[in-house]
Amino acid sequence: MVVFKQIAMIVTTVLVQVKSEHIDNFIRATAENHHHSVKEQGNIRFDVTQKDGDPTRFLLYEAYENEAAAAAHKETAHYQKWRQLVAPWMAAPREGIRYNILYPK
């Protein structure tokens, strides 16, 4: 019998629009944040995507095992550094949208 661990996965998508002159800076800073985030305990995924046809728009997909792991991410030094660094590069405020995973279980 195979037993799967049930996790209450928390997903956040973060929609970001960056000023065009800061695209490369944003990518570099976000790559560093990604590199550290995927090593966090409780991190399942941390994807960084750029919109096809509009290089100023990004979507970050963050999945954590539970609420505590998602909250702990926001307390890390690398996240705090990223948030402060990229703030002036935003063309609009970033928008985080929280989801609870229904499937897969």
Structure tokens at 84: 């402060």
Report domain extents, the chain: 15-100
**pLDDT score of 16:** 98
pLDDT value at residue 7: 58
What six digits make up the tokens of 39? 């090593």
Residue 72, pLDDT score: 97
- Rounded to whole angstroms, how far apart are CA atoms 51 and 71? 27
pTM above 0.85, yes or no: yes
Task: List C-alpha distances in Å: 8 to 5, 12, 44, 80, 102.
Answer: 10, 13, 12, 25, 9
Residues of the chain with pLDDT under 50: none
Give the pLDDT confidence of 31-59 residue by residue, as tens digits: 999 999 999 999 999 999 999 999 999 99
Residues 6+ apart with CB under 8 A from 2: none
Supply angle C-alpha 100, 35, 50, rounded to 5: 65
CATH 3.30.70.100 fits 15-100, yes or no: yes
- Separation CA 16–CA 48 (nearest Å): 11
pLDDT at 6: 55
Q: What pLDDT does 89 receive?
A: 98
Give bridge partners of residue 90 from the DSSP assignment.
18
Calculate the average pLDDT of the chain.
93
